[in-house]
A and B are shown apart, each in its own frame.
Chain A
Amino acid sequence: MNNKTLSRRQFVTGVTIGAAALAINPSILFAGMRNNITALTGNTFNLSIGEQSVNFTGTMRTATTVNNSLPAPLLRFKEGEMITLNVTNHLTESTSIHWHGLILPSEMDGVPDISNDFHGIKPGETFAYRFKAKQSGTYWYHSHSGFQEQTGLYGPIVIDPAEKDPVTYDKDYIVMLSDWTDENPTDVYHKLKKLSHYYNFNERTHSDLMNDIEKKGLENTWNDRKMWGQMRMSQRDLSDVTGYTYTYLANGVTPDKGWVGLFEKGDKVRVRFINGSAMTFFDVRIPGLKMTVVAADGQNIEPVSVDEFRIGVAETYDVIVEPKNDSAYTIFAQDIARSGYARGTLTPDASMLGEVPELDKAPNLTHSDMGMSNMVGMNHSKMNHGSMNMKQTTMAGMDHSTMGRSSMGKQKSMTNMGRPKMNMGGNKEMSTMDSMVTHADTEFGPHVDMRSADPQYRLDDPGIGLRNNGRKVLTYADLRSLHMMHNYPDPDREIQLHLTGNMSRYMWSINGVKFADAEPLQFKFGEVVRITFVNDTMMNHPMHLHGMWSDLETGDNMYIPRKHTVIVQPGAKISYRVKVDAKGSWAYHCHLLYHMLGMFRRVDVV
């Protein structure tokens, strides 16, 4: 294992570790090259999990860290090599590390009691993870035990490609976004159970109502709000946990201090964004710079130029920026609820900082976010962008009487199946059979407060709060794998999974069944499964399948982007293919930390 402090054309990333570290090395902060941490490189790594004092808010707290670092050290290794990671637990409780997005044997995946033969790393024990790096790109690692991820146990991974990197760059930075709370995460969870809107300080108020009435008149205001009242839901239910308790960090640096990355005019700067949050979706932009997105979830994609992108919990995006001036640029990552932001700066001179934009106004959820198609709030004019020639097909007038009702007659209507289709210059049309949306009997009861009546494929919808904001925002419809995939086999079968919950009772489940009560999903080794998610809630859920890729069906089977974490938008549906090529047991779950306890499945590949 080599410990190197890196500079140009190499890694610079940041960490803030309490007063102790600052006292030891005040010059780092002072110079503005804040907190360069050592990157660990090579093929053998010794990681020590322990407790560490930190101070992000003015109050000393105890974090869970790797090698006394928050975020945990960058692990950098090379594709094709055999990697050994010796993880030692110095905590008083059991721990684990999961290598998020890495394709490896189940035994090495690090999910206690789900990964084969793995039951966590007990206090005082060392577990040796050994696997071959089968891929390249930007990934991350985190604890899969308890709420340790919330208290700091997450870090970046970069795997350098065995062959020439198709992306060229002069500087290479990581921006790992995360959410820190001084509260005990168990208390956070319990507060949400007792009062689900505990952290939501963005509810619509008296003055919003008066403005609405003034603008739209009393009748229209009533009509707009009527449904939300009837449904007993908040139009501002954007994020369960917000800046009320969270301090948003960029590379472990608070927004007050701000992480800093240096460039020289004319540099091509690669920024590897990783969302290592427990609960926070970030909307990221660098005012003044176009970002060319070159990789999603570690996998190279056809470059797309955007002003802004939303990064769900556990997703990664690599972007290239090319500052042409000697100016400072702010990396601005506001949380989806507009309650705070993480901040960094790209600058030619550490003493020069960019302007920090205002937070956007908190958006109101729309009917489409509730799974209704009649008032879809998305921007249809955006549908022909990028190099894709997308066409929203609607299948109106389907005969409902032929749609097999469930025995309980509880199935809700399904009408518009707007799956984006694409013609590849007269070649193969996407071979999809639009499946019907049916709600299982288990979705009915006190534990589920909403079922999408008419969920839509909304790949080209940038999502709540980003629609029509005047900026070019990345959507899933923009993602095209850089490399052509020949003969991707059609799915052998489809599994429809509904993301369900009861917000006010703070219960989360899949198909109305929480993990503790659920049978494992059975995948057959060698098959190709299409997963179709239907989101029967008003929240975004970042769904993560361990061990196998989630190959997102964007409409073009030749350039399917591979992801490890897929955002399912509220009231929407989305499909991806899974080549079932990894035996063993795997975790499959919502990556929002306080949802995953219930919204979780074990997958057995046999």
Chain B
Amino acid sequence: MKYLKVITISCLFALTSQSFAGGIEDDPVLTKVMGEVELRSTDDVNPRAWNINAWVGQDLNKFWVKTRGEKIAGKIEKSELQLLYSKAITPFWDLQLGVKKDFQPKPQRNWGVIAAKGLAPYLFEVDASLFVGESGKLGVRLEAEYEYIFSQKLILSPEVEINAFSKDDELTGTGKGLSSVEAGLRLRYEVTREFAPYIGINWEKKYGNTADFSLTEGKGIEDAQIVVGMRFWF
């Protein structure tokens, strides 16, 4: 409902603004979809992963959708969807509020989300989220990415992600405390600004109870993969 309201408000905004220079709205309602889809090579079946974000809105107020997941042998193993209202609060930072649903692994989990998304000093792209789950469980996710410019089109981006939780959730295999760390290094070539194939490596490790749950299920706790993918936006 909340989102509907936001959309309605921003639409109203677009309609009611009166006079524009040259008859053109300086702050149009725009849509941007951006994502990475990649193939990860492992000893076993090669998983496919996606991480796609999209927004619709104006300069300072937007409605965001974030989704990510992993598919192994045709079966979705992990997937989540976030719906967020995003408000610019400083020149480089947006405050994002909304909900998140984990579809896989089962059972599904619902979360409230408070996130800060923006550009930290020294040009680190940061997305820091606090998830508030049912029965008061908390989760934290910190993502950071940097872009190292080799040439105008060849860009190396190191990225890191840390996940932690306040309580165990054995059914979904997530444990209390530091849960997982993921680090990646992707080298992309921007054929155009909008379209860039890349290669890279991705390393992931589970910690604490999360690691124990994983071992119990007979799964590994550390994995390093070579990845090949496509980065795009439009």
Contacts and interface: CB of A to CB of B under 8 A. Distances in A.
Interface in B20-47: 20-28, 30, 32
Given A446-B91, A597-B21, A232 B119 contact: yes
A515 interface: yes
B28 A190 contact: yes
Output the residue of A113, A144, A448, A449 with the most chain B CB within 10 A: A113
A205 interface: yes
Interface in A335-360: none
B149 interface: yes
B92 interface: yes
Given A201-B152, A504-B92, A516-B27, A230 B193 contact: no
Contacts of A504: 91-92, 119
A300 B152 CA distance: 44
Contacts of B72: none
B22 A597 contact: yes
Contacts of B19: 113, 515-516
Contacts of A505: 59-60, 88, 91
Interface in A197-233: 198, 201-206, 229-232
Contacts of A232: 92, 119-123
Given A190-B30, A205-B149, A206-B148, A146 B123 contact: no
B171 interface: no
Interface residues of B, number: 35
Contacts of B88: 446-447, 505
A514 B152 contact: no
Main secondary structure on B side of the interface with A: loop
A600 interface: yes
B18 interface: yes
B22 A145 contact: yes
B90 interface: yes
Given A446-B89, A515-B21, A205 B151 contact: yes
A94 B22 CA distance: 10
Interface string B64-107: 00000000000000000000000011111100000000000000
A195 B193 CA distance: 9
Given A205-B149, A230-B122, A600-B21, A198 B91 contact: no
Interface in B167-214: 193
Nearest to A514: B26
B185 to A, nearest CB: 15
Contact of B20 (A194, A229, A445, A515): A515
Given A230-B121, A232-B119, A600-B21, A515 B150 contact: no
B17 interface: yes
A112 B20 CA distance: 10
A589 interface: yes
A507 B122 contact: no
B22 A146 contact: yes
B116 to A, nearest CB: 13
A595 to B, nearest CB: 9
Contacts of A205: 149-152
B233 interface: yes
Given A193-B30, A449-B92, A94 B23 contact: yes
A205 to B, nearest CB: 5
A243 interface: no
A571 interface: no
A471 to B, nearest CB: 27
A206 B22 contact: no
Nearest to B58: A193
Nearest to A203: B149
Contacts of B90: 445-446
A165 to B, nearest CB: 35
B233 A598 contact: no
Contacts of B89: 446
Contacts of A514: 26-27
B152 A146 contact: no
A516 B26 contact: yes
Contacts of A502: 91
Contacts of B26: 507-508, 514-516, 597-598
Contact of A112 (B23, B92, B148): B23
A589 B26 CA distance: 14
Given A232-B119, A516-B17, A146 B23 contact: yes
13 contacts: A144-B22, A201-B153, A205-B150, A229-B121, A230-B121, A231-B121, A232-B119, A232-B121, A505-B91, A516-B17, A516-B18, A589-B21, A597-B21
Given A502-B91, A507-B26, 5 more contacts: A94-B23, A206-B151, A230-B122, A446-B88, A447-B91
